[in-house]
């Protein structure tokens, strides 16, 4: 089995379409280890510039949250610290900041921190 096939079996990928054109995508993965199977991870959220501000990101996020409710009790994600628009989207959907990963991303010599966020899906 190819690595790509294995990844698709372990992850769920969500797409948003306008007129049969893919305009947004994100993924969800459940933690692989037994003691962490209650956690899931939202990854790879991207909305094409022409579709931003149209509710695509919110729709993708809601689809992941609905899917995750059947599998885990919390979802984690990280967002680049300068990306205020994405951070506010996550906050509007109930994600809370719990930390910062310093120097998480490097583009050339430029370092970017990531904000770590979590949303509980159970009653705690």
pLDDT (tens digit, 9 = 90+) per residue, 42-65? Answer: 999 999 999 999 999 999 999 999
pLDDT at position 9: 72
Q: How confident is residue 123, by pLDDT bands cut at 50, 70 and 90?
A: low
CATH number of the domain bearing residue 95:
3.40.630.30
pLDDT at 124 over 70: no
pLDDT at position 1: 60
Instruction: Find out whether 72 and 118 touch, Cβ atoms under 8 Å.
Output: no
Strands 110-120 and 74-80: antiparallel
| Mean pLDDT estimate for the chain | 93
What's the length of the chain? 124
Nearest residue to 93 via CA among 69, 65, 72: 65
Cα R_g (the chain), whole angstroms: 15
Q: Is 20 helix (H, G, I), strand (E, B) or coil?
A: coil
Q: How confident is residue 109, by pLDDT bands cut at 50, 70 and 90?
A: very high
pLDDT at position 71: 92
Q: What is the DSSP string of 54-108?
A: TTHHHHHHHHHHHHHHTT-SEEEEEEETT-HHHHHHHHHTT-EEEEEEEEEEEET
pLDDT at position 11: 87
pLDDT at position 2: 77
**Total structural domains in the chain?**
1
**Region 73-98 average pLDDT:** 97
pLDDT at 93 over 90: yes
Domain of residue 13, residue span: 3-120
């Amino acid at each position: 089995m190819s690595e790509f096939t294995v990844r698709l079996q372990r992850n769920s990928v969500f797409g948003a379409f306008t007129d049969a054109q893919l305009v947004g995508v994100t993924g969800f993965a459940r933690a692989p280890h037994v003691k962490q199977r209650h956690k899931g991870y939202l990854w790879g959220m991207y909305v094409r510039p022409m579709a931003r501000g149209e509710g695509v990101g919110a729709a993708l996020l809601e689809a992941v949250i609905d899917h995750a409710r059947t599998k885990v009790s919390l979802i984690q994600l990280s967002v680049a610290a300068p990306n205020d628009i994405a951070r506010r989207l996550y906050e509007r959907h109930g994600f809370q900041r719990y930390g910062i990963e310093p120097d998480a991303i490097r583009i050339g010599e430029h370092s970017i921190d990531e904000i770590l966020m979590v949303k509980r899906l159970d009653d705690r």
